[in-house]
Amino acid sequence: MMAMSPIDPRLQEALDGERDPGTLPLDLREAYARLMGAANLLQTLPAISVAARVMADIHDLKPERIRPARRLMRWLARPRAVTLRLRPAWTLALAAGLAAILVISTQPTNNPIPGPHQGVAHFVGRFPGARSVEVVGSFNDWSRGSLHLRDENHDGIWHGAAVLPAGPHEYMFVVDGERWVPDPLAGRYVDDGFGAGRENSLLIVRPAQASLDDDATLR
Amino acid sequence: MRLALVLMLVAAPLAAQNGGGPAGRLAGRVPPAALAAIDSLIAAAVAESLPSEPLVQKALEGSAKGVPTDRLVNGVRRSLLQLREARVIVGRAMPDQPAPEAHVAAVSAALARGLSPAIVERLLTVAPNEPPGPVLHAAADLVAHRFNPDSATDLLVEAHNKGLHGMRLLDVAVAADHELQRAGGRTHADALARVRALLPNVPTAEVPPPVTRRRTKGS
């Protein structure tokens, strides 16, 4: 706040009419004259007030007929100054909320929906004492480390699922990273062709959205 | 979370199957000592307009399993011979058109599952313009469960003639197996007869639902 300089009591008395201005020292007399001049100026009204002139100009304007839609477009298009006052606590809370929404919305769903030429393959195997079980097959180019089964209850039953293209897939379980085992529940087996009498498990994935057209995927 | 990772990792090699050439997919996976021989086998398949993907898969499979080099190459060579045999069979069943690669691959897989060329050719002839995978796998399923191959083929042909196509033919094999397992000491012939009496209304196999599982720690 700006500090006001105290007025001289003699000048104040003169302004209040309690002292003859002629008795004031020269510098106060000059100040008195300036203040009185300003007071007289404020008391003098213009012949035609500014407000009256502005209103007259407004009345002279012919009202333009604007369609509501156009008015709305203008309203939407017109730039407007927006004043945003933020409290740090609320701002941080809002940012945290938005981040949570973003993370949740980008989380993969627990219910993957197979495409029109895909189906869901479930794998289950009983391997008590195993440290790891994974599925390796034609659907992942026989590469390790892409489809691990889980034994959440530590009861020796390992299970997992994957969305795969509809059709036949050969595969095997790899236990503890070194032991290749056919799926005992596969029901279909085929000689692996390497001359050691080993068999791959065979899985035929049915399209989740079954139709005659989908059968074309199973060749 | 982990399931989505699994799906992504499974999907990546599948995408690679479409994008990368055979040489690129084998490099670093197949032992260097076997690479040249396998490359030449794949080149031969391409030159003969045979599908090369089964050979690539066989090479990747054998390499992942750590099959010795000589058996690995022999396994891929055996697959090439099977593809050539398959194309001859497809050519006989579809004499008026070039053998589609998908048909050749499906027939080769059926031969690997133990179906005789005569059975395969007969099933191809019934519906030459349909994807042969389902009916061939259905026949292989029945033969694997010790049904008489000719009787099983008769049943599948009849099912096709009564309007069952594609995956529904696999349902025929499943129904025959279920009939066989019913209490009462049913013979294979009895089971086939029971299913024949049901045609075309064999039960539809249940398609696995989308994966639904509890969110667990670390998943």
A-B C-beta contacts closer than 8 Å: 165
> What is the rounded average pLDDT for all residues in chain B?
86
Q: Is residue B37 pLDDT above 90, yes or no?
A: yes
In a domain, B83, yes or no: yes
For residue B84, count other CB atoms closer than 10 A to its CB.
15
Closest CA to A198 of B26, B85, B62, B86: B62
Backbone φ and ψ for A123, nearest 5 degrees, come out as -120, 130
- Phi and psi of A173, rounded to 5°? -90, 140
Residues of A in contact with B27 (CB under 8 A): none
pLDDT of residue A101: 74
- Comparing CB atoms, the residue among A141, A200, A204 nearest residue B25 is A141
Q: B27 and B105: one domain?
A: yes
The domain boundary, picked from B112, B140, B166, lies at B112
Give the pLDDT band of residue B71 (cuts 50, 70, 90). very high
pLDDT for A133 equals: 97
Using the predicted structure, report yes or no on whether residue B216 has a pLDDT greater than 60.
no
What total of structural domains would you count in chain B? 2
Q: Do B77 and B31 belong together in one domain?
A: yes
pLDDT given at position B11: 46
Residues of chain A contacting B79 with CB distance shorter than 8 Å: 193
In a domain, B118, yes or no: no
Inter-chain touch A192–B75, beta carbons under 8 Å? yes
Q: Provide the H-helix boundaries in B66-212.
A: 69-93, 101-112, 117-126, 133-144, 149-161, 167-181, 188-198
| Residue B92 belongs to some domain of the structure | yes
Residue bearing tokens 């495409």 = A115
Q: What percentage of chain B exceeds 90 in pLDDT?
A: 70
Q: B106 and B26 in one domain?
A: yes
pLDDT at A216: 44
Instruction: Enter the DSSP assignment of B95.
Output: T
Query: Of B62 and A90, which is predicted with more confidence?
Result: B62
Domain limits for position B179: 132-206
Chain A hits for B210, CB-CB cut-off 8 Å, are 111-114, 120, 208
pLDDT value of residue A213: 44
Tell me the two tokens of residue A95.
């940012």
Of A119, A146, A195, the CB nearest to B74: A195
**Judgement on whether residues B50 and B105 belong to the same structural domain of the protein:** yes
Q: Please judge whether B63 and A168 are an interchain contact, meaning their C-beta atoms are less than 8 angstroms apart.
A: no
pTM of the full predicted structure?
0.68
Same domain, B108 and B24: yes
Residues B137 and B82 occupy one common structural domain? no
Least Cα separation, residue B219 to chain A (angstroms): 10
| One domain for residues B155 and B105 | no
Q: What's the pLDDT score for residue A186?
A: 92
| Stretch B104-129: mean pLDDT | 95
- Do B160 and B129 contact (CB within 8 A), yes or no? no
Asked if B85 and B166 sit in the same domain, the reply is no
Contact B133 A170 (CB under 8 A): no
Q: Which of B112, B141, B165 is the endpoint of a domain? A: B112
Q: Does A31 touch chain B (CB under 8 A)?
A: no
Searching chain A, which residue's CA lies closest to the CA of residue B169?
A215
Q: Which residue of B has its CA nearest to A167?
A: B133
Most B-contacting residue of A104, A110, A154 (CB-CB within 10 A), to test interface? A110
Instruction: Spell out the domains of chain A, with CATH numbers in brackets.
Output: 1-63 (no CATH), 118-217 (2.60.40.10)
Phi, psi of A171 (to 5 degrees): -160, 170
Give the pLDDT mean for B83-97: 94
What is the pLDDT at residue A212? 42
Check if the beta carbon of residue B133 is closer than 8 Å to that of residue A219: yes
Per-residue pLDDT of chain A (219 residues; tens, 9 = 90+): 444 567 888 888 888 888 888 888 888 888 888 888 887 777 665 555 666 666 766 666 655 677 888 888 888 888 877 776 777 888 888 888 887 777 655 444 445 678 888 999 999 999 999 999 999 999 999 999 999 999 999 999 999 999 999 999 999 999 999 999 999 999 999 999 999 889 999 999 998 875 444 444 454
B106 and B137 in a common domain: no
Residue of B29, B112, B137 with shortest CB distance to A204? B137
B148 and B107 share one domain: no
For residues B34-48, give the mean pLDDT. 96
Same domain, B184 and B106: no
Residue B179 lies in a domain: yes
Q: Please state, in angstroms and as integers, the Cα–Cα distance from residue A68 to each residue in A63, A76, A78, A79, B41, following that order.
A: 14, 12, 15, 19, 76
Residue of A nearest to B141 (CA): A188
Task: Tell me whether residues A210 and B144 touch, CB distance under 8 A.
Answer: no
Tell me the per-residue pLDDT of A154-205, one tens digit each, with 9 for 90 and over.
Answer: 999 999 999 999 999 999 999 999 999 999 999 999 999 999 889 999 999 9
Which tokens sit at A118?
Answer: 């895909």
Q: Which of residues 107-166 of A touch B (CB under 8 A)?
A: 107-114, 119-122, 136, 138-148, 150, 152, 160-165
Q: Dihedral through CA A138, CA B207, CA A216, CA B145, nearest 10? A: 70
Contacts of A109 in chain B (CB under 8 A): 4
Segment (H or E) for A198? none
Helix or strand (DSSP H, E) at A123: strand A118-126
Which of B54, B77, B112 is where one domain is finished? B112
Q: Which value does ipTM take for this structure?
A: 0.84
Select from B206, B197, B131, B192 the least CA-distant residue to B165.
B131
